[in-house]
Amino acid sequence: MIAKKPSYKKEVTILVQKKKNNSSKKLFFILVMLIFIFLGIVGRLFYIMRVKSPNYKSLALKQWTNDFEIPARRGRILDRNGMEIAVSMNAYRVDLDMVTLKDSLLNKKMTMDQLAAKLSPILNMPTDKISAVFNRTTPTGTPIKFAILSRGIDKPQVDKINELKIKGLIISSDSKRYYPNNNFLASVLGYVNLEGKGVSGVELNYDKELSGIPGRTTFEADRNSTQLPYGNSDYKAPVNGKDIVLTIDENIQSIAEKAAQKALTDNKAKSVTITVMDPKTGEILAMVSKPDFDPNNPGKDSKGNAVKSIDDTVKNIAVQSAFEPGSIFKVITSYAAIKENVANENSTFYCNGSLKVDGHTINCWDLNGHGTETFGDIIKNSCNVGFMKLGQQLGKGRLGYYVSLFGFGQKTGIDLPGESIGIIKNPDKLNNVDLSSLAFGQGLSVTAVQYLSALNSVANGGTWIRPHIMKQITHADENNNPVVDKTFNNFGKKEILDANSVSTLKGYLEKVVSLPTGVGHNAFIDGYHIAGKTGTAQKANPKGGGYEADKYFSSFAGMAPVDDPKITLLVSVDEPDPSNYYAAQVSAPVAKDLFSEIFNYMIMKGQLSLNKTGN
């Protein structure tokens, strides 16, 4: 049987059909792919045009829109008589348009580091600090497009920058803080940083009121940051800061400044602090700490020398530092003894130069002893032994109560930053040695404003009142007339003392400043009726364990005229020459000069009349 041969024509037909089928599958696959690609493109376009449109629009706007903050002019700081002690002057600022700047440097074949080196001497900024601004990035790591390089520069500096002919360095108007009297009232005023924000003192505490509200300007610009003539623009004017009127009297402050500097030099002291207040209002009339600094150049002291620590240099000692008061604290113990009927004019004490308490011998400042004394004598003589006996009679509960009543161990709430609270031991934990030391002012620490607030309550007849530095907050209306926005009213007044007991105490304190035997007689001025108390305290060892050898804190606290005090003051000299450290020789003479000059000024102003027979 012969096999049939396959048909050639049929095989060709089958092959052709297979090719057609394969081609159809390929075309279908290609068509599906094209459809997916098309849908992908449409989806991507939809995503870009609808979902991401706001972001891309925002990026585009940023490329052709310049948006700058217009700083508000910082308010002035004035003394109570309207004298300007901190003002803002016209100046300039340098901002960076980094896109334009990079293009300009590329055309000039200059690097960022080279530009930083050229700008450094002009702006008085370290090269690395300028470079750090150039290389600043956003939190996501993206290079910044705009930045502030420097503020408060002068016209000569602007001219030198323009001479570089670098595009992207944008010069605009600004203001610069200026203190006309240099280091005058420096520790109270504080200073502002390069961004114009308060760093310390009044500048910090009232920064919100002084700063005002910045404005903004927005405009469309070309690639060189030049405003397009027909582009969209927007302008919001700044609201200038308000003025702060202080309670400070420039004339009394000047007297205190000179007295503090003289005391610092004469006594070769570490520092001197003087505070003068109105006891009836709590107003601070003068407050000075020496050595000080120039707020126009806060990195340097008043002599122009670079400081080791700017924080220590600008510290307001009267508010931020606590000290052991020593014998000026005997005013508190004396009041407690009078009010509690522990002592009166008939009480007697015997001092042989020391007192043994629970096996510990505690000396009087006069090692020879004062002998037999009355209550008035132990105050006039500042006898430690007499006061230790008073403390023991009062007991830790009652003495502790009066320590708290006068406000020690508590912030006064003064309107200045960084107030220290001081250190007061819990009365329940006092042993007899602690109690005896507390009675004459050792074993605790207080601030100058705490102590003067307590003394004010004695001077004014029994009312505690908050010390404060702000008198008014004002602004100028459209006609440049002052408008009062706020007057200080947070006095915190409270009646804490008995008027009769206070009157008795003031009589004793006047005898302290009496000739020839009062321990504070070096502050005596005939006819001024000064009442006060000296205080000499050893300085506690900061490392713990007793007191430092030959380091003292010498103070004088006083009021005058005693029947109706117009001023209270506290003079504190930290670490006077150890060869002459007693407050009677160190601080009392300073107080005498202060009372004399301040009262001469007040008499001239008609604020006070004095004669040798009374107030």
pLDDT per residue as tens digits for the range 218-268 = 756 655 555 555 555 566 778 899 999 999 999 999 999 999 999 999 999
Q: Which of 7-21, 258-272, 353-367 has the lowest mean pLDDT?
A: 7-21
C-alpha span between 324 and 532 (Å, rounded): 18
What would you measure as the largest C-alpha separation in the chain, in angstroms? 166
Catalytic option among 289, 321, 327, 382: 327
Determine the length of the chain.
615
Q: Pick from 280, 305, 282: which is nearest to 292 by CA? A: 305
C-alpha span between 541 and 559 (Å, rounded): 31
**pLDDT, mean of residues 359-367:** 93
DSSP code of 289? E
- List the beta bridge partners of residue 275: 287, 570
pLDDT at residue 19 tops 80? no
DSSP code of 254? H
pLDDT at residue 110 tops 70? yes
DSSP code of 516? T
pLDDT per residue as tens digits for the range 414-430 = 999 999 999 999 999 99
Average pLDDT of the residues of the chain: 88
Q: Select the more confidently predicted residue: 477 or 569.
A: 569
- Looking at residue 7, what is its pLDDT? 61
Kindly tell me the burial class for residue 280, based on how many C-beta atoms sit within 10 Å of its own C-beta (0-12, 13-18, 19 or more): middle
pLDDT per residue as tens digits for the range 301-320 = 666 677 667 777 899 999 99
pLDDT per residue as tens digits for the range 444-493 = 999 999 999 999 999 999 999 999 999 999 998 888 888 999 999 999 99
Q: Which of 109-118, 139-148, 327-336, 469-478 has the lowest mean pLDDT?
A: 139-148
Residues 6+ apart with CB under 8 A from 325: 441, 444, 445, 446, 451, 535, 537, 555
pLDDT at residue 42 tops 70? yes
- Looking at residue 119, what is its pLDDT? 92
**pLDDT, mean of residues 18-40:** 75
* Residue 309 annotated as catalytic: no
Tokens of 463: 């009312």
Q: Select the more confidently predicted residue: 541 or 592.
A: 592
- Looking at residue 541, what is its pLDDT? 82
Tokens of 589: 């003479």
pLDDT at residue 1 tops 60? no
- Answering whether pTM is above 0.85, one says no
Contacts 24+ apart (CB under 8 A), 56-60: none
Sign of the dihedral defined by the CA atoms of residues 245, 246, 248, 254, in that order: negative
Residues 6+ apart with CB under 8 A from 78: 84, 85, 243, 244, 245, 246
**pLDDT, mean of residues 50-73:** 66
Q: Which of 294-308, 357-371, 551-565, 575-589 has the lowest mean pLDDT?
A: 294-308
pLDDT per residue as tens digits for the range 43-56 = 777 777 776 677 66
pLDDT at residue 613 tops 50? no
pLDDT at residue 359 tops 70? yes
C-alpha span between 402 and 408 (Å, rounded): 9
pLDDT per residue as tens digits for the range 150-188 = 888 888 999 999 999 999 898 888 888 999 999 999 999
- Looking at residue 146, what is its pLDDT? 81
Contact 270, 548 (CB under 8 A): no
**pLDDT, mean of residues 365-390:** 96
C-alpha span between 244 and 77 (Å, rounded): 5
Q: How far is CA 89 from the centre of its chain?
A: 22
pLDDT per residue as tens digits for the range 479-538 = 888 899 999 999 999 999 999 999 999 999 999 999 998 999 999 999 999 999 999 999
Tokens of 515: 């000739």
- Looking at residue 601, what is its pLDDT? 96
- Looking at residue 614, what is its pLDDT? 41
Q: Pick from 373, 389, 387, 375: which is nearest to 345 by CA? A: 375
- List the beta bridge partners of residue 540: 547
- Looking at residue 176, what is its pLDDT? 87
pLDDT band at 433 (very low <50, low <70, confident <90, very high): very high
C-alpha span between 455 and 335 (Å, rounded): 11
Tell me the residue ranges of DSSP E strands in 237-391. Answer: 243-246, 271-277, 284-290, 348-351, 354-357, 360-363, 371-374
Q: Which of 301-310, 349-358, 370-379 has the lowest mean pLDDT?
A: 301-310
C-alpha span between 398 and 342 (Å, rounded): 11
Domains in the chain: ranges and CATH: 85-178 (3.90.1310.10), 250-604 (3.40.710.10)
